Homo-oligomer: A and B are copies of this chain.
Amino acid sequence: MPYRRPPSVQARLDARRDRVLEAAVHLLSREGYGGCSVAAIAAEAGISTGSVYQSFSGKSELAAALFRTLVARELEAVAAATERPGGAAQRVAAAVETFAYRALQAPRRAFALLAEPADPAVDAERLLFRRAFRDVYAGQIAAGVACGELPAQSPELTAAALVGAIAEALVGPLADGDAAPGDVIPGLIAFTLRALGGHDAADA
């Protein structure tokens, strides 16, 4: 019969795990992954390095969990944006706008998540999450193609290309720090609508 921690104990452990992650979020937002050593995160959380290992098996797991925590929120926000009323193109455009707007609100953090050199475990997560974003877009694009709103195309290819396009178009402004949503977002949406090929792309 396997041992299980009493619920109260488990709750404490979970709470500390969350506190460590929250500290890591703050550190990441200020200094990027470059500032996220185990020691620095422990200090930010107000605990010792040893205690970090109560919640995480090691640095790689922590870095990956940090990434997942933050990017899962973005994925959720993007997925929610695709549920607005409108055609496939409008829904994808809403998703792109949501993603870009949120990134530009926290440029240092967004740059860290999107492009900053980091632990290989983080790079692996990046590949996984880019696939997840792709799948969200691909679903909308497939529907648009099926109903004739969009021209024939591979939804997966277009969706993957859009994920890469949005990320790369944001990296420059995010890295510069002079991130002005008003300048970048309309251009990104126009690009997206053209790339999707909806008949009204030229009007946007």
Contact at B157–A161, with CB atoms within 8 Å? no
Interface membership of A19, Cβ < 8 A: no
Query: What string of 1s and 0s marks CB contacts (under 8 Å) between A42-66 and chain B?
Result: 0000000000000000000000000
Q: In the bound complex, do residue A190 and residue B153 qualify as a contact, i.e. CB atoms below 8 Å apart?
A: yes
A201 to B196, CA, bound (A): 11
When the two chains form their complex, are residues B202 and A171 in contact, meaning their CB atoms are under 8 A apart? no
A163 at interface by CB-CB < 8 Å: yes
In the complex, how many angstroms separate the beta carbon of A26 from the nearest chain B beta carbon? 22
- Interchain CB contact under 8 A, B154 and A163: no
Chain A interface mostly = helix
Q: Give residues of chain A (148-184) contacting chain B, Cβ–Cβ below 8 Å.
A: 151, 153-154, 156-158, 160-169, 171-172, 175, 184
Q: Chain A: interface residue count, which band?
A: 35 or more
With a cutoff of 8 Å between Cβ atoms, the chain B residues found around residue A158 in the complex are: 187, 191
Contact present for A161 and B191 (CB under 8 Å)? yes
* Top 9 A-B residue pairs of the complex, sorted by shortest distance between their CB atoms: A164-B168, A117-B120, A117-B123, A161-B165, A164-B164, A165-B165, A195-B195, A161-B169, A157-B187
What's the Cα separation between A164 and B100 when bound, in Å? 15
* A115 contacts chain B at the CB level, 8 A cutoff: yes
Chain B contacts for A190, CB-based, 8 A: 153
- Confirm or deny: A9 has a beta carbon within 8 angstroms of a beta carbon on chain B: no
Q: How far is the CA of A153 from the CA of B172 in the complex (A)?
A: 17
Given A115-B127, A194-B196, A194-B197, A163:B168 Cβ within 8 A:
yes
CB neighbours (8 Å) of A171 from chain B are 127, 130, 160, 164
Q: How far is A191 from B168 in the complex, measured between Cα atoms in Å? A: 16
